[in-house]
Structure 1
Amino acid sequence: MASVIGWLDHSEEQQRKMREVIDLFSETDSRDELGIGAVRDAFSDLLFPGLSTIQTRARYFFFVPWVYLDLERRRVPAGQIAQKARQRQLELIYALEAGGESGGVIGIDARERLKRLPESVYWNGLGVFDLRRYQGGLGDYRRSIGRFYRQVDAFAGYEAEQIDIERPTNWHPALPPRPDGLFEETTLALTGEEAHFLRERIVTADPGSLLAHYLLAGQPVEGTIALPWDGVDFDGLPDELARRVRYGRWFSELFWGAALLYNLLLAEEATRRELQSGGAERVDHYRDRLDDWVGLVAARRSEFEAVQRDDFWRVVSHTGARVTDKTRRFLDQWFDLALAPGGSVATNRSAHRLIGDREQGLKRGLARLGNPRQLEIWGGLSGAGQLNYRWGTGRVIVNDIIDGLTDA
């Protein structure tokens, strides 16, 4: 029977996490094969809150509210609002195309077959940055729209009687206005007003994030900056942000070795069992990358060893991340092996056993190591990329906003 994930009445946060899990399974090089997603997500939220790996451009943070504000203005009922919103978001594809856009346009290839609409991609971020005032999931918002209309009508009565109450709204009241002709022709470029507003919202939401730091620096981020800390002067960071970034970098760099070793072990076993062609080249590739990683650890050993591990875990736990005891033990054991003097994890039997036991504990019958059936269908690359905590999205969002400010 095919596996089906039903979107029941889970919380907004649960739905967001589930969507991110699904998204990561479609990104082979960043897939979480060893069950460390809770730690990865903790640092992603600390450094780049409100973003996700499938967001494309900053102006969608306005497109989604503009769509729903228009539907609210027209009093579209709850039973029709999802379909009307979908139609508007499909119209945006053609409007952006008419404006000369292609890259970054959600649905440019799928068009009418689009399943993941911008509204679901940006819903969490809209709440994090306070562009969305409705506190709840997208489905709850739609179902509650009739009650909202009644609240607006009641407010009109109070206003007529000069009773001082706050006007009900699902969106930030100072949101820049929707441009005329938006659904006929538009672009992904932010206006100066939009860029100023979005920067203010992001910085206000979490001034201690790396995302806010890049925005306040006011400089575009070069595409050659591959990792978020590569463009950072640590001495110029506030103490708490420097702590977040250092721990995030430490975890990213140390855990990278575990991801590479896992792929090396898969390549070696697949080659030994003659399950795939090109096995020897793949083994050499992962050995070379693991050797490079060993060199990285050796070069930065003093920094790595200076990290207070209890404080590292304290930072992770303060985000609300649910890291199981098994995951913490696995990672602490890996850190010990990675920082042990002499030798290489590539030939360390304890390291091999740790990785194998971890995969078996997580996947059971679907584990690849020691399982020829699963190993035979391995694609040759499973989560071997270094963790960058949504940096690809962060760099684009920062540059969109900086460009808008510059062009204002």
Structure 2
Amino acid sequence: MASPQSIAGWIDISPAALRKLRAELELHDKSVLDEMGVGAIHTGYADLFFPGTSVLHTRARYLLFVPWIYLGLAAHPRARAERVRELKEKAELWLTGCLRAHAQENDDGIIGGRVYPEPPAQPPDFAYWSALREYRLYEGVPRAQLLARWDRARIMPREDVRTREDRVDQQPLGLFDVPSLPAWWMQEDANVSFQLEADEAEFLRDRLAQRRPPCLLGVAAALLGKRARPTARTLWGDPFMRRAADVFDRDHSGPDLRPASAAAALQRADGASALAELVRAIYAALVELLREQDLRAAGRLPLPEDHAHYREYLRSYWEEDDGETVRRARDLPLQGLKADIQLPGRLPELLAHVQARVSSIRRASEVQARLLDSTTLELFTSLEWARKRTRARLPRRDGRGRREGFGKGTVRVADINYRWPMVSRMLRDIQEGLPDV
């Protein structure tokens, strides 16, 4: 009698499903839900300025750690196809453990550090694979196929293809073009940190700068120097990035490049961030208003103390913000925004409506009449229903149950950062590793 065969297997995620999953992760950055679809603005400008990056990125050295994991497996005599995933996870846990053991104060960004010694839900290669391809650190089959078709003899550093004639005629599954595997790799007493060696920092700076077509991230990487690095909380408010945009426009601008003008696109990204923040505030205030009506209709009085939290917050843009967010949103040229990035569905209609209403308000007392009126409610309800029917809160009848328990803290109203916290951290990592810096 034949022995039973296991039907357990590895389920690979298709490229389309992977793109969808990454997009959803973008929308949940810092727990900001995207009920109105303004996350498309975040993704559009982030991909325009910083192609290949992700909200899952933490530190620049992972751009080398991930290739070294695979090159280490290729050099491992027992890394056969049936064991490769087990050994890959072992290497990832070794890396996490080393980083945790030698972490400096406030040395954050360790992927899987919080769940160690359990493996993280998204391992480092999941987060960084697009960047490896974008900046030519990897060339070959997709990540899932690399593991499914594993043949360690066909996983190699590009230097091997350049120097070893006996391997030139082999069709590689994957080529990693990175500095050589360190001697300390997978050693028990290895002192591993996020600090880049000088040659590693120069390599990453040059590889980002050589990206074609050129992008703002590449220009910024090329400008890194002794006192040249990101310092500001916001992308558009950072003098270093404004200089990078000016250099981009001087050296690379043209009708066939996106953006045609990086400096102008940065300014529009600023206004789009403010407008998206107001959209989120209006959404929260509308849900809150309907929730109050639900409570009154049910006779559940007195109302909670914070029953008008989001409406007061919305008014504060005209009272306590000195009108700065309002001014940025009002001055955004929507035609320029649509030229920069793709706005799906009815998002342009939503942005035009909100901008027009915001521009018409002269004092805080007009906020509820102009921004929480029946026309605005109808538009927001229609768009939310089209996007997320099973999660929609605004429909009066169908959303009533989802409004239950809604209150202060349910929705986090925030602007859009376009992955700037992650990108600026990576640029600083490279700058700190450069020689004579």
Q: Name the TM tier (shorter chain).
A: 0.7 to 0.9
Distance 2:217 2:341 in 1: 18
* More helix, by proportion: 1
The AA in structure 1 aligned to 2:205 is R
Q: TM-score, length-normalised on structure 1?
A: 0.82
Distance 2:376 2:362 in 1: 14
Q: Provide Cα deviations, 1:139-189, integer angstroms capped at 9, x if missing partner.
A: 11112323963999xx89x935xx97698472343x112222233321111
Q: Is the 8 A contact 1:254 1:338 kept in 2?
A: no
RMSD across aligned C-alpha pairs, in angstroms? 3.4
Distance 2:36 2:330 in 1: 26
Distance 1:246 1:97 in 2: 39
The AA in structure 1 aligned to 2:208 is I
Distance 1:113 1:242 in 2: 44
- Greater RCO between the two (CA within 8 Å, min separation 6)? 1
Q: Which residue of 2 aligns with 1:335?
A: 355
Q: Provide Cα deviations, 1:313-347, integer angstroms capped at 9, x if missing partner.
A: 23214xxxxx4333333333333333446465543
Q: Which residue of 2 aligns with 1:296?
A: 324
Q: Provide Cα deviations, 1:267-306, integer angstroms capped at 9, x if missing partner.
A: 33334526755324454234314655681266458843xx
Instruction: Give the number of the structure whose alpha-carbon radius of gyration is greater.
Output: 2
Shift of 1:230: 0.3
Shift of 1:407: 6.0
1:302–1:31 CA distance, 2 compared to 1 (3 A) = closer
Q: Is the 8 A contact 1:337 1:345 kept in 2?
A: no
Shift of 1:87: 0.7
Equivalent residues in 2 for 1:139-178, closer than 5 Å: 139-146=144-151, 149=154, 159=165, 168=172, 170-173=174-177, 175-178=178-181
1:377–1:126 CA distance, 2 compared to 1 (3 A) = farther
Q: Which residue of 1 aligns with 2:6?
A: none
Structure 1 stretch displaced more, 283-292 or 102-111: 283-292
Show structure 1 runs of 5+ residues with no match: 1-5, 318-322
Show structure 2 runs of 5+ residues with no match: 1-9, 250-260
1:139–1:8 CA distance, 2 compared to 1 (3 A) = closer
Distance 1:164 1:84 in 2: 27
Equivalent residues in 2 for 1:380-395, closer than 5 Å: 380-395=409-424
SS at the partner of 2:389?
helix
The AA in structure 1 aligned to 2:130 is N
Q: Which residue of 2 aligns with 1:230?
A: 237
Q: 1:221 aligns with which of 225, 230, 240?
A: 230
Structure 1 stretch displaced more, 73-82 or 16-25: 16-25
Q: Is the 8 A contact 2:272 2:329 kept in 1?
A: no
Q: Is the 8 A contact 2:197 2:433 kept in 1?
A: yes
The AA in structure 2 aligned to 1:312 is L
Shift of 1:118: 1.0
Distance 2:168 2:329 in 1: 62
Q: Which residue of 2 aligns with 1:25?
A: 28
Q: Provide Cα deviations, 1:77-122, integer angstroms capped at 9, x if missing partner.
A: 2222121111100011111123234522112220132222111111
Q: TM-score, length-normalised on structure 2?
A: 0.77
Shift of 1:204: 1.6
Q: Which residue of 1 aligns with 2:257?
A: none
| 2:306 pairs with 1:278 | yes
| 2:84 pairs with 1:81 | yes
Shift of 1:381: 3.9
Distance 1:140 1:64 in 2: 16
Structure 1 stretch displaced more, 123-132 or 61-70: 123-132
Distance 1:406 1:89 in 2: 29
1:23–1:254 CA distance, 2 compared to 1 (3 A) = closer
Q: Is the 8 A contact 2:46 2:419 kept in 1?
A: yes
Q: Which residue of 2 aligns with 1:212?
A: 218
The AA in structure 1 aligned to 2:429 is D
| 2:338 pairs with 1:313 | yes
Q: Which residue of 2 aligns with 1:287?
A: 315
Distance 2:424 2:52 in 1: 14
Distance 1:312 1:324 in 2: 12
Of all paired residues, the percent bearing the same amino acid is 23
Q: Which residue of 1 aligns with 2:3?
A: none
SS at the partner of 1:221?
coil
Equivalent residues in 2 for 1:6-405, closer than 5 Å: 9-11=13-15, 14-22=17-25, 24-25=27-28, 27-28=30-31, 30-74=32-76, 76-101=79-104, 103-114=108-119, 115-136=121-142, 138-146=143-151, 149=154, 159=165, 168=172, 170-173=174-177, 175-183=178-186, 184=188, 185=190, 186-205=192-211, 208-218=214-224, 219-222=228-231, 225-232=232-239, 233=242, 236-239=246-249, 240-272=261-293, 273=295, 278-289=306-317, 291=319, 295-296=323-324, 299-300=327-328, 303-304=331-332, 307=333, 309-317=334-342, 323-340=343-360, 342=362, 344-348=366-370, 349=373, 350-369=375-394, 370=396, 371-378=399-406, 380-405=409-434
SS at the partner of 2:14?
coil
